[in-house]
A and B are shown apart, each in its own frame.
Chain A
């Protein structure tokens, strides 16, 4: 068994492209067709979950795609953003960024300190999209228990104050929701490895619900302050049928911080 699992993990590590946890869905799948078939499956950390539904996506009264629900995954690799790169893309850091990655310590990771993971870093916890005519919201179960707001068909301010999630505006291109974000601070890390960014960071997220139970998420990252060229991460989110977001207040009892030691590294020590 262990040998078989060891083989699985080797293959898994090699194939680890990343899925960022964004959220899940409590209500019955929109339209009710092709809902989970009742057989349990494992989704991320969660066992015995309903099999995600298939079938066509549902449109909202305004003609746009209904993205509502509780989703899991879809973000970039929490361990190492380079594992989520679109085939052919490269993560090419500027010299100062390369040097910084070599010196960062695990306990300095904002996420370990219960601070936001920014964009597009994933987590193992579900997330939810809520659509209103003027605003879309992404509600994160963790980490941290927070939210993003996307201003639909709006413009960025000329000089936004730098923030953890930046200033996001959204529009539809066919069946794809495109979210453009600027105004990030330079504090969050892209991953456990400590890949950095500057306030010049600009992200373009493309959310496409490919069927009722799945969503593809591509994020193009431009940061001329840290990287020689833009790159794109790819992920796939899965609908969690029958789930609600639960509370996750990371600041409550964070005993780990004083125990963390050593250089920034991935979850398995890589």
Chain B
């Protein structure tokens, strides 16, 4: 039987479901893969921190009400090795984000794919789209 690493498994599950796994906790205990979100807004802050990097996004709804969302990424050590830089996304950037919402229905989500106006993309693990 061929062994498969936790990291390799994490990458496979991420590609299938967008669910972040093999971090320092169970992704399934935090996020609900059935609660997908697609939001566009302006980044207000980036936290290049462990155990996860985060960026915050001001999202305006149809009534003009602004809600600040907190999106989780992998940890900087993983992101750096996969082409991310600490300024790959910056405060003031307008981006569209697809992700998976926290089970508690708060404005907290795991970022699956981040799309910039020029079309380039980042995701939870890599500085380009998975499979490209």
Residues of chain A having any CB pair with chain B under 8 Å: 1-2, 5-6, 8-9, 12-13, 15-21, 42-49, 72-73, 77-79, 84, 87, 106-107, 109, 111-112, 114, 122-125, 141-143, 192, 234-236, 243, 246-250, 252-257, 259-262, 264-270
Is B30 positioned at the interface, with any CB of A under 8 Å from its CB?
A: yes
List, in ascending order, chain B residues with CB within 8 A of A259's CB.
30, 102-104, 106, 108
How far, in angstroms, from A152 to B126 measured CA to CA in the complex?
A: 40
List, in ascending order, chain B residues with CB within 8 A of A13's CB.
9
Closest 10 CB pairs of A and B: A44-B7, A267-B21, A269-B28, A106-B29, A253-B49, A124-B7, A19-B5, A112-B25, A246-B77, A45-B7
Residue of A nearest to B21 (CB): A267
List, in ascending order, chain A residues with CB within 8 A of B37's CB.
none
List, in ascending order, chain A residues with CB within 8 A of B6's CB.
18-21, 44, 73, 77-79, 122-124, 267
**In the complex the two chains form, is B25's CB within 8 Å of A235's CB?**
no
How far, in angstroms, from A8 to B108 measured CA to CA in the complex?
A: 30
Residue of A nearest to B106 (CB): A259
Q: How far is the CB of A48 from chain B (nearest CB, A)?
A: 8
Residue of B nearest to A74 (CB): B5
**In the complex the two chains form, is A267's CB within 8 Å of B16's CB?**
no
List, in ascending order, chain B residues with CB within 8 A of A8's CB.
12
Q: CB within 8 A of A19: which of B4, B12, B29, B83?
A: B4
**In the complex the two chains form, is B25's CB within 8 Å of A106's CB?**
yes
9 residue pairs A–B, Cβ–Cβ below 8 Å: A19-B6, A21-B6, A44-B7, A77-B6, A79-B22, A243-B81, A259-B103, A265-B28, A267-B13
Give 13 new A-B contacts, CB below 8 A, not counting A21-B5, A47-B126, A123-B22. A44-B10, A46-B7, A46-B82, A79-B6, A79-B22, A109-B25, A141-B77, A247-B77, A255-B52, A260-B26, A267-B27, A268-B13, A269-B29
Most chain A beta-carbon contacts within 10 A, residue among B7, B28, B70: B7
**In the complex the two chains form, is A18's CB within 8 Å of B3's CB?**
yes
**In the complex the two chains form, is B3's CB within 8 Å of A45's CB?**
no
Q: CB within 8 A of B24: which of A5, A142, A234?
A: A142
List, in ascending order, chain A residues with CB within 8 A of B49's CB.
252-253
List, in ascending order, chain A residues with CB within 8 A of B25's CB.
106, 109, 111-112, 192, 256-257, 260
**In the complex the two chains form, is B9's CB within 8 Å of A142's CB?**
no
Q: A1-B131, A15-B1 are in contact. Are A253 and B52 (CB under 8 A)?
A: yes
